[in-house]
Structure 1
């Protein structure tokens, strides 16, 4: 990709995307620029680790960049845009990975008819396995969407959604890896409590998770069908599933996702 990308914000999501882009080799390290509000130590860390460019002069940054990737916290988004808005051009492409902030609000803060695309990746971007949802703003066209798809496809897979769905995307795939890690924490803890070594527990659980994911991807069977195949009547799996049902496991997961969705809505307001 023959474009320079400026990251405004240097947190964990920005790093995950930078790492994924570099590993994919779609873009040269010297085409990636990073800046943030005031954490110079964080910028130095990213510059040293990934050999990318750091820049605090906002005018210079905007003059050099073709794509502006907003990766700030929601509460800092308006201020971050204000810091670069005087130097924005109509031919800049704005990508936002900040949860909860709509394209309409970003466009209003920018004050220009400029293409904006929201993306909701997850931290699996750092190893090329992100699930990223994209939605386009009022001034983005097919060409801009294709650029965004090309960029985010290097760090996983992409799907286009309506913007109204982005809050639910946040709850499912944006925050989803954390729910899965939380489940794994519990599995590892119970294995160790039962006397298994931590190393053995991790090997078994991690491979089990990997295998289940590949079964979902490589077969035409639904999660329900695959679960039923494992669940023999009166068997060990059924005993475990019954315990999950008695403790309303699926409803707890739904509540978890709704809570994340509702928080995304709050952040947007």
Structure 2
């Protein structure tokens, strides 16, 4: 592709740009960035990655691929502002949570459209993404998009409706884990442990646990039971989580995110 244009220059756009440029999946000279008003942000990305700033919306006509990466609440307004400049041959890849392929078609016309839900771990090549395509996406285009996304993690093709659940699970998942780490750091400080020490211990614990799941290939429940000795410290901790309805809290978290994704799809 000779011209890939990001509409929106936030954290997800940067995560993909970083992953693609650093891994040499896409050359920086072929990547253009644009946003509504924050030119300083565009200059920052230009200096950091060598990508180009899109100064004139008329240049969109030359784009091979447009990546929609603005805030979901701004999506319809942003798409309306660029619709007249987009060629009928230009494909669209949307990373917008909750914005359906049908909505993109209504705003930008019938064309090849893919909708993907990555997460910000794309920055380090560790994203977990779900992707869906409309019927206009060719086999060649599909293979290219899968290759681009596999360069920044794993990607799984699903029916579009399932992207709401993927958004709630892996799309938002990093934030939940960071939130968990914040809680570990807070309680660790109450025991007099330095924040940096707690973080070092828990980051390694999270990484090790993830690697165990990948390598040993046993069910999480089995691995949990192997750590949980009867009458031991882990059992005491698990009982405390159960008394606070931990599973219910996690379920509520995921369901609320999935519901919000569907609300965004309805324009609410």
Distance of 2:26 and 2:217 partners within structure 1: 35
The residue that corresponds to 1:108 in the other structure is 106
Equivalent of residue 81 in structure 2, options 59, 80, 83: 83
Q: What does residue range 165-180 of structure 1 map to in structure 2 within 5 Å?
A: 165-180=162-177
C-alpha displacement of 1:149? 0.7
Equivalent of residue 228 in structure 2, options 213, 228, 231: 231
Does 1:118 find its partner at 2:115?
Answer: yes
Distance of 2:61 and 2:234 partners within structure 1: 57
Farther-moved stretch of structure 1 (4-13 vs 141-150) = 141-150
Does 1:246 find its partner at 2:243?
Answer: yes
Does 1:32 find its partner at 2:34?
Answer: no
SS state of the match for residue 180, structure 2?
A: helix
- Scaled by the length of structure 1, what TM-score is found? 0.95
Distance of 1:62 and 1:210 partners within structure 2: 44
Distance of 1:137 and 1:225 partners within structure 2: 40
Give the alignment's Cα RMSD to 1 decimal: 1.2
Mapped contact 2:129–2:155 kept (Cα < 8 A): yes
Q: What does residue range 1-269 of structure 1 map to in structure 2 within 5 Å?
A: 2-63=1-62, 65-112=63-110, 114-269=111-266
SS state of the match for residue 70, structure 2?
A: coil
C-alpha displacement of 1:223? 1.1
C-alpha displacement of 1:4? 2.4
C-alpha displacement of 1:17? 0.8
- Scaled by the length of structure 2, what TM-score is found? 0.96
Structure 2: which 5+ runs fail to align? none
C-alpha displacement of 1:59? 1.4
Distance of 2:54 and 2:164 partners within structure 1: 32
SS state of the match for residue 182, structure 2?
A: helix
Structure 1: which 5+ runs fail to align? none
SS state of the match for residue 241, structure 1?
A: helix
Distance of 1:82 and 1:138 partners within structure 2: 23
Distance of 1:92 and 1:264 partners within structure 2: 26
Mapped contact 1:104–1:138 kept (Cα < 8 A): no
